[in-house]
């Protein structure tokens, strides 16, 4: 779980750096800004969802039942 937390932190920092560098290279129009923010948000959201599911699995006192 701790490794996933560190992965989320690293991804957030790396995606912010990539966004800043990409905006320097690309034009500064509104569509470019929105698309980079959307890509960063989607990536961070996916990693956070994976982290949440893993936390639920590790903290759950009973195993998941497939019938439910």
Pair 53, 45: CB distance under 8 Å = no
Domain range annotation of the chain: 2-59
H-state helical runs in the chain = 2-25, 30-59
Give residue-wise pLDDT tens across range 23-38. Answer: 666 656 666 667 777 8
Give residue-wise pLDDT tens across range 33-60. Answer: 677 778 778 878 888 888 888 888 888 8
pLDDT for the residue 33: 67
15 vs 68, which has greater pLDDT? 15
24 vs 62, which has greater pLDDT? 62
């Amino acid at each position: 779980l701790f490794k996933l937390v560190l992965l989320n932190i690293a991804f957030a920092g790396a995606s912010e750096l990539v966004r800043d560098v990409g905006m320097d290279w690309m034009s500064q129009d509104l569509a470019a800004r929105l698309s980079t923010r959307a890509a960063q948000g989607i990536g961070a959201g996916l990693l956070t969802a994976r982290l949440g599911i893993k936390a639920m699995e590790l903290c759950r006192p009973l195993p998941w039942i497939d019938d439910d």
